[in-house]
A and B are shown apart, each in its own frame.
Chain A
Amino acid sequence: MRHRSRFAILVALGLVAAACSTGRVAEADLPDPSNWAEVVAEAEGQTVNLFMWGGSSQINRFVDTVYAPRLKDDFDITLNRIPVADTVDAINTILSELQGGRLRGGSVDLVWINGENFLTLSQADAVLSGWATRIPNARLVDWDSPEINQDFGLAVNGAESPLGSAQFQFVYDSARIDVEELPGSYAELRDWIEAHPGRFTYPALPDFHGSRFVKQAFYELTGGVTPWLGEFDEKAYDAASIRLWEYLQGIGPFLWREGTTYPQSLADLNSLFANGEVDFTFTQLPAGIAADIDSGVLPATARPFVLDTGTIGDSHYLAIPTNAAHPHAAMVVANLVLEPDLQAAKLDPANGWGDGLAVSLSRLDAAQQSVIARVTSSFGEFSVPASLLEAVRLPEISAEYTLALERDWDRYVRQNRPLS
C-alpha cells in the first residue's frame, strides 16, 4: 500500500512538471543575417554546440581540426562538437527541452540534419526559418535547384543551410566478384541474390541507407520516379507498392539469415561485409570509399558502383533550433562551412571525409573551380566518376512516401505479414 501511494506522488510531481511547458520565443533578439556585421559581432566569444552524427572518427577529426581552429582564429567562436549515435537523439533533446519550457538557452545551437529529422522539427515548429538564403555565402548555393530548396520534398524555406551533398552507391569487393557479374538493376540484383543465397542484405528500415535501398527499388519496380514527384498520392502508392513488397518478400529467403533478421545500421552491414559474411554494402559519399579503406572499415579491394537504373542523390544541412542559446554564432558556422576552400577540403577523402559539394561549381571563380577539379581528379578507382553519378542521379520524393515505405516495410518485410 505504502509503495502504491508513493508512486501516486511521483505521478503527480511529473504532471506538475509537464504542465508548465508550452509557449514560444519572442522574435526580438534573433539574429538578422541581412546585417551580417552585427551577427558576427554578437557571435564573438560564443560557444556553438554542434550536434552531429558521431559514427565516423574521420569526420569527427575533420570537424575538430579544420572547422574548429578556423572559427577560433577568425571569429573567436568555440566549436563544441557533440556526437550523437543518431541525429534523432539531437531532435529528441530539442523537443524535450522545448516541452520542458526551455524556450531560450537550449543546449543545441546547431544540428547536422537530413530530411526525415527536418520534417520532425518542422512539424513541431522548432527551427529558425528564413535565414539560410540570406547569409553571405548563400550566393554560392544554387537555391533555385530542387536538390537544395527541397528536403524530402519539403520546402526548406531558409530553415536549414546546406552542408554537403550525397548519392547512394553500392559497394562490392573486387577480390570476390568480377565487374561483369555486378547487377545493373534491381531485376538483375534479384537474379544475383537467388544465385548466391545468404550473400546479400540491407540495413533494416528506418535506417537511412536501408530506406534508400528500398525507395530506389520502389522507383524501378513502379515505372520510375516520375509518377511520384508530385504530392503524396496514397491511392496510387497503395496500388503500385504491392510490386515492391512482392519483390522484397520474394528475395527474403535468399538473403543473409534467410531474411529473418537484418543489420541495424550501415556500420553493422560494413562489418558483415568486411568479415566476408555478405558481398555488398553501400556508401553515400560522392568521393567514394577511400576514407573508409584508409581507416580499415572496408577492405582495400572494395569498390563502389551504381545501378544503371539510377540511385538517389540529395543534400544534407545545418539547422538552428528556435531555442538555441547562441543562434548568432551558429549562423556564422553555417556560413563558414560554405567557404569554397573548406568545401574543397571536405570533398577530399585525403582529409578523411569525401562529402559532396553544397556550393554550386558555376558560382565559384576560376581559381576555386580548379582547386575542386584537382580534388575530384584524385578520387580514382575508389569512387564512381562524377559524370556517371550525375547521369544516374534520381531525386528524392515527398516525405510521406518515405514514411509510408517505412511503415509498410515494417509490416510486410520485418514482420513478414502476408500481402492483403
Chain B
Amino acid sequence: MSARTDHSANALTVTSHNPGVWLRLAPAMLIVVPLMAMAVGLAVVQSFGIFPVTGRSNPSLEAYRTLISSSEFWRSLTFSAYIATISTALSLAIGVGVAVAFRTVFSTKRTSTFFLQLNLAIPHLVGALAMLLLLGQSGLLSRVTNAAGVTDGTIGFPALVFDSAGLAIIAEYVWKEVPFFAVVSLAILGTVAVDYESVAGTLGAGRIQRFRHVTIPLLLPALLPAAVAVFAFAFGTFEVPLLLGGTFPQALPVLAYRRFVNVDLAARPEAMAAGVVIIVVGLVAALAYQRLAGTLRARR
C-alpha cells in the first residue's frame, strides 16, 4: 500500500514535459508498474466476481451491490476516513510547529534533520507494536501510572488500544508522520522562507503577520502533496489498524482483509471490491489535490 501511495504522490509532482525525467524514472517504473498492474488488475477482475478456481466466470456487480448495501461497509469507510483525516491534520499541524521550533532551537538545518530522521527507519508495523506495548492497558504507561498511584490496575487505565475511536492508530500515524511534515517544512523554511520573511520584516510585518502571510503560503505547495500522500496511506494501510484496532468498527483495509481470508470463497469478490474502493479513494484524493494545486497556482 505504501509503495502505491508514495509513488502516485511523487508522480504528481514530476514535471511531465521533461522527457529526461521519464528516462530516469524508467528503471523504477519497469519494476513497479507491471507488478502493480497485475495486482490491481487481478483485484478489479475478482471484484467483478470472475474467479475461475471456483468455476465462476460471469462478470457481475454483485460484490459491489452487497458491499454498498451493508451498513458495516459504510461504518468502515467513515472510520477509515475519520482516522486518515484526523491523523493527517494532526501530523501536519504538529509537523509545521516542530519545524518552526527546530529552526529557532538548532542553528543548522543538518542537526534538525538528524533528529527528525530518527524514526525514519522504523516501519509502521514496529511502530504499531510499540504503541501496543506503550499504550495498552497492561502497557508501560499504565504500569507507570499504576505505580505512581494515578490509575488503579489495568482496568483503571483508559482504553487507548483496541478502542472504537482508534486513538492508538491515530497516535501511531502522528508519531510516524510528524517528522515527515517537519522535514518537508524545514526544506522551505531553511531556504526560501528566510529571505521572504526578513523582507516582510523590514516592511514592518509582525511575527504573526509574517507567519500568516509569508510562511504559510510558502509552505502550502510543499505540504499539500505530502498531506495527500499521508491521507491516502493512512486510509489504505492495513497493518496498523489490524494490530491496534478493535473488533468493531473495522478500518476498510481490515474489512477487505477479513473478507479475503474468509473460509467462504464467495466473500473474495467483496474483499476485492473493498480494495478497489480504497484505490479509488486514493485516486480521488490525488485528483482533488491536482485541482486544488491548480487553483493555488492560478491565484498566485
Contacts and interface: CB of A to CB of B under 8 A. Distances in A.
A177 interface: no
Contact of B263 (A98, A116, A126): A116
Interface in B99-139: 137-138
Contact of A261 (B34, B42, B50, B248): B248
A57 interface: no
Interface stretch (A4-12, A221-229, A305-313): A4-12
A14 interface: yes
B246 interface: yes
A155 to B, nearest CB: 17
B266 to A, nearest CB: 9
Nearest to B12: A3
Contacts of A206: 262-263
Nearest to A87: B261
B44 A92 contact: no
A18 B260 CA distance: 18
A368 B57 CA distance: 53
B154 A117 contact: no
Interface in B135-150: 137-138
Interface residues of A, number: 46
Best-buried of B42, B51, B72 by chain A (most CB within 10 Å): B42
Contacts of B199: none
Interface in A358-417: 403, 406, 414-416
Contacts of A117: 263
Nearest to A278: B154
Contact of A403 (B44, B45, B154, B264): B264
B186 to A, nearest CB: 30
A26 interface: no
Interface string B11-40: 100001000000000000000011011111
A194 interface: no
B37 A9 contact: yes
A316 to B, nearest CB: 15
B247 A14 contact: no
B10 interface: no
A10 B265 CA distance: 25
A257 B40 contact: no
A95 interface: yes
A17 interface: yes
Nearest to A95: B53
Contacts of A14: 37-45
A124 B44 contact: no
A283 to B, nearest CB: 21
Classify chain B: how many residues form its interface, as a range.
35 or more
Contacts of A98: 53
Interface string A13-39: 111111001100000000000000000
Interface string A195-229: 00010000010100000000000000000000000
A277 interface: yes
A154 to B, nearest CB: 12
B264 A261 contact: no
Contact of B53 (A10, A126, A260, A277): A126
Interface string A240-276: 0000000000000000010011101000000010011
B223 to A, nearest CB: 21
B261 A92 contact: yes
A88 interface: yes
A257 B54 CA distance: 40
B41 A204 contact: no
Nearest to A204: B247
B67 interface: no
A88 B268 CA distance: 13
Nearest to B139: A275
A116 B46 CA distance: 22
B154 A275 contact: yes
A277 B143 CA distance: 13
B155 interface: yes
Contact of B159 (A3, A11, A257): A257
Interface in B250-300: 260-265, 283, 286-287
Contact of A124 (B53, B155, B159): B53
5 contacts: A10-B40, A11-B37, A18-B45, A124-B54, A261-B247
Given A16-B41, A99-B52, A264-B242, 4 more contacts: A13-B41, A14-B37, A124-B265, A261-B162
Among all A-B residue pairs, the 4 with the closest Cβ atoms = A14-B41, A261-B246, A275-B138, A10-B37
